[in-house]
A and B are shown apart, each in its own frame.
Chain A
Amino acid sequence: MRTLRSVASWLMPVVPESRVAILRTVLYLIVIIDIHLFVRDPIPLSRNPELYRPLLMERLFHLPPPSVPLTIMLYLILVAGCLLVAANVLPRLAGWVVAVAFTWWTAIGMSYGKVDHDHLALVVALWVLPTVGVIADRWRSVERSAQAGWALKCIQISVVFTYFLSALTKIRSGGWSITSWPESSILLWAIIRRPHGLGQFLLPYPELLHVMQWLSFTAELTAVIVLWLRGRALLAAAVFWMGFHVFTLAFLYIHFAPTAICWLAFAPLERLGPWLRRIKAGRRQRTGRRAPRHAVAVLGDHPIDSSG
């Protein structure tokens, strides 16, 4: 019973709801960017019905094959829905609509032969954020809840699972062998296939590429540890993984932006509002006007990980 309770309190830590309110604003704006920059092809792809191969999910729910009117409708729904939730307006209703629409939109983008793996955390985020419901006072909320904690924990788990599961898949695809992927010519393969990044300079050094494969494989396999890190250790892990993403972008032209942005679920975002207010108040003081006393109060100055 005690184990169950500690598992439950780990899954649902009581955290400031303003953290979710701010994360909503960021992530739903990111979705709008995403449908223009990353999963941007559903509308043009829907002009090629002969290349459409529905995914399991699309067959299971008997989703109609994509057409231009359908994909344009999804696009418009996404833009409108995301703007509403980004403003923390109708977070439940508009949130569910965006979750369904974005999952469908992304599934369409992956139904023409290529499936990407950088959207897991963002899709999960869109499905769990509506469950927090209305947050009174939005960014300025002073309430805390397990509902907010659970949503954030789900996003955190999907971020680290993106790495951890990819290590599992590498072990599986190598015939359940730990060494086959790190010892393979995968980076060479990736660099030759994407001959535009800085990776060109590494082509003459296959041994160095093997070392990098071992490093990234080890990091992915142990990524779950991040869920138990706090404070500076957590910050160090976040910096490491951001570096990893910058590296794959520069050397291979592979970005994992939707995953990288979901790292914000680890951040004490509730400090943002008070911090901005302090800066504003400080500026007012310097220009000679007295800052209103309440604005200086350090509202959300909790420790980095205020989870219970």
Chain B
Amino acid sequence: MGERVRAISPASFAWRIAASVLGIGLLLNGSLRMSDDAWPFGPQSQYAFSPASDATIVITRVEGLLADGRRIDLPLRVETAGISRAEIEARIPEITTDPSLLRSVADGWTSRHPAEPPLLRIWLVQDQTQLVAGGVGRTRAVELATWGLPA
């Protein structure tokens, strides 16, 4: 009836106490002092910042020009481009300096869409939505970088 209790030695009692204190300490330290770099002991920083009531909200997209003349959206998801939007957004400064980094999106998309015509050029585009006094204002599209694929 669940009455048998397994013994616990002083040593295994002690290291469990120590591990608990260490773990809680590392977690508190991560949230109060560290950055995401310290994962899994970093801060729980997802959605933890405070956008102002007049902030500009950006959605980053990649568009591609196909050989048949169509300009289409290349969805930034792992299934469609091999890489996700957040990963591209984290690299925007590098990509604007070296647009050939967009190769990862082009390669990822091409290998997952073998039936489509080849990609000639891709663009890194941002939809920028302006907040006005805490409400939603206008949205405009801005081109950040473009890269022509080597023929």
- Which interface residue of B37, B40, B136 has the most chain A CB atoms within 10 A? B40
Q: A44-B78, A124-B23, A157-B24 are in contact. Are A181 and B39 (CB under 8 A)?
A: no
B10 to chain A, nearest CB (A): 11
Q: Which residues of A contact B83 (CB under 8 A)?
A: 41, 44-45, 48, 51, 112
A48 touches B44 (CB 8 A): no
B101 touches A50 (CB 8 A): yes
B102 to chain A, nearest CB (A): 11
Which of chain B's residues 24-68 have a Cβ closer than 8 Å to chain A?
Answer: 24, 27-28, 30-32, 36-40, 42-53, 55, 57, 59
Check if A113 is an interface residue, CB within 8 A of chain B. Answer: yes
Q: Which residues of A contact B90 (CB under 8 A)?
A: 112-114
User: Which of the 9-residue segments A84-92, A172-180, A230-238, A283-291 touches chain B?
Assistant: A172-180
B31 touches A144 (CB 8 A): no
A114 touches B86 (CB 8 A): yes
Which of chain A's residues 112-157 have a Cβ closer than 8 Å to chain B?
Answer: 112-120, 123-124, 131, 142-147, 150, 154, 157
Count of chain B residues near A, Cβ 8 A:
58
Q: A123-B40, A192-B129 are in contact. Are A114 and B84 (CB under 8 A)?
A: yes
**Which residues of A are at the interface with B, using a C-beta cutoff of 8 A?**
8, 11-12, 14, 16-17, 40-41, 44-45, 47-48, 50-51, 55-57, 103, 106-107, 110, 112-120, 123-124, 131, 142-147, 150, 154, 157-158, 161-162, 165-166, 168-170, 172-174, 180-181, 183-186, 188-190, 192-193, 195, 203-204, 206, 254, 270, 299-300, 302
The 9 lowest CB-CB distance pairs between A and B, nearest first, are: A113-B90, A184-B50, A114-B86, A166-B44, A145-B6, A115-B36, A169-B43, A169-B48, A165-B31
**Which residues of B are at the interface with A, using a C-beta cutoff of 8 A?**
1-6, 8, 12-13, 16-17, 20, 23-24, 27-28, 30-32, 36-40, 42-53, 55, 57, 59, 78, 82-84, 86-91, 101, 104, 107-108, 129, 131, 134-136
